[in-house]
Amino acid sequence: MESTAAASEIKDISLAPSGQAKIDWVRGHMPVLAAIREDFRREQPFAGKKVAVCLHLEAKTAWFIQVLAEGGALTSACASNPLSTQDDVAAALARSGVEVHARHGAAPAEYERHLEGALGIKPDYIIDDGGDLVHLLHTGRRDLLAGVKGGAEETTTGILRLRRMAAEKALCFPMIAVNDARSKYLFDNRYGTGQSVWDGVMRATNLVVAGKTVCVVGYGWCGKGVALRGKGLGARVVVCEIDPVKANEAWMDGFEVMPMRRAATLADIFITVTGNKNVVASEHFPLMKDGALLANAGHFDVEVDKTALAAMAAGRRPLKPGIEEFTLADGRRLFLLAEGRLVNLAAGDGHPAEVMDMSFALQALTLQYLVDNAAKLGGEVYPVPKDLDDRVSAMRLQALGLEIDALTPEQVAYLASWNV
């Protein structure tokens, strides 16, 4: 099957010039991917390979997919969240020859159809963000499983799903946990989420953060970034956790730590980053202050129980893009941002380009690694090889013009010994 713009399902191809301008802007800030692109253009590592990609379809992602295509891949793309698709970027991507199945605001049935559409190329490899492609391949499209040699997963939530599948021996091809590479989570999850979440909240609300009480729910690498940058913006940050070690870390990082039931009474802004469902739930809404903002930065829109909120509300109305007002019976108003979906992508452009440069560089090198090695791997979740992880950070340092030290032979020998 040929992958063509004509087979694409997008909003409007005439939006392509605006999307292309966005791509042109970000690619100028992604030097690591630029260096990999040069290698790919020369070596054509993906010649004859079909790659289906399920990622947030914004400008950095489009550039990444184009780099894979320049490396010889036949590519198809769909969105990993219905609200993160930027229709102009999708149009530019389709115009460049990638088969795109995505539309901003796609309803659940349409979103599912887009996943199916991306699998229409019968992929040899997949790149997933959150696990939707893997899920579809192992349920409704098992007929395609035999052709899939391997894939890579971008995010914590997706890897949790994959590990459960692998534990039940249900995973039918190797998946590489790109999220778990140090060059990924220490930068993308922490500094990427830390910046882009606040960008999304501020763009949607146009309100000040300084002086507000912010409740960060979940203190993984993403939560750490959101708390750190919230503090930098002048907020008083409280952290809710279920893991005693992470709660201890939050305390030692200088944040208040308390259960959600108490934080619910104090916070002006709630940001969920747990990967779990109903962490802000029906028992919490009645405790909240009038005007509280509810935002989510976890992969799925399940962290704020918006069904319970809607059921409890005496009224609701969309206020402006990205903000919906829910009025409780006593007149208090709670404001849900971006429909409880990833606020950084639904109300913003996602992580900064320099951060996604490293994440997508890892994805690109991981795909190349899979092409060379998938036949030796089984239905398990594998780490990104350490040399690739190190290489991406080294390339980033080089792009920044930073030099670091190297071990002397004497130091190498010392570290390798135990009896000196």
Residue 271 Cβ, how far from ligand ADE at the closest point, in Å?
A: 15
Instruction: Provide the 10 A C-beta neighbour count for residue 63.
Output: 27
The 189-228 site mask, x for binding ligand ADE (CB under 6 A), equals: ---x---x--------------------------------
Candidates 50-58, 132-140, 270-278, 305-313: pick the segment binding ligand ADE (CB under 6 A). Answer: 50-58
Residue 195 Cβ, how far from ligand ADE at the closest point, in Å?
A: 10
- Alpha carbon 46 to chain centroid, angstroms: 24
Using the minimum distance from each CB to ligand ADE, give the nearer residue, 309 or 356. Answer: 356
Candidates 16-24, 68-76, 96-104, 342-350: pick the segment binding ligand ADE (CB under 6 A). Answer: 342-350
Phi-psi region of 214 (alpha: psi -120 to 50; beta: other; left: phi over 0): beta
Using the minimum distance from each CB to ligand ADE, give the nearer residue, 61 or 272. Answer: 61
Are 284 and 328 contacting, i.e. CB atoms less than 8 angstroms apart? no
54-73 positions binding ligand ADE, by CB under 6 A: 55-56, 58, 60-61
358-417 positions binding ligand ADE, by CB under 6 A: none
Q: Which residues pair with 77 in a beta bridge?
A: 53, 100
Using the minimum distance from each CB to ligand ADE, give the nearer residue, 239 or 345. Answer: 345
23 binds ligand ADE (CB under 6 A): no
Using the minimum distance from each CB to ligand ADE, give the nearer residue, 324 or 357. Answer: 357
Residue nearest to ligand ADE (CB): 350
The 154-173 site mask, x for binding ligand ADE (CB under 6 A), equals: xx------------------
129 binds ligand ADE (CB under 6 A): yes
Chain residues in the site for ligand ADE (CB under 6 A): 55-56, 58, 60-61, 129, 154-155, 192, 196, 344-345, 350-351, 356
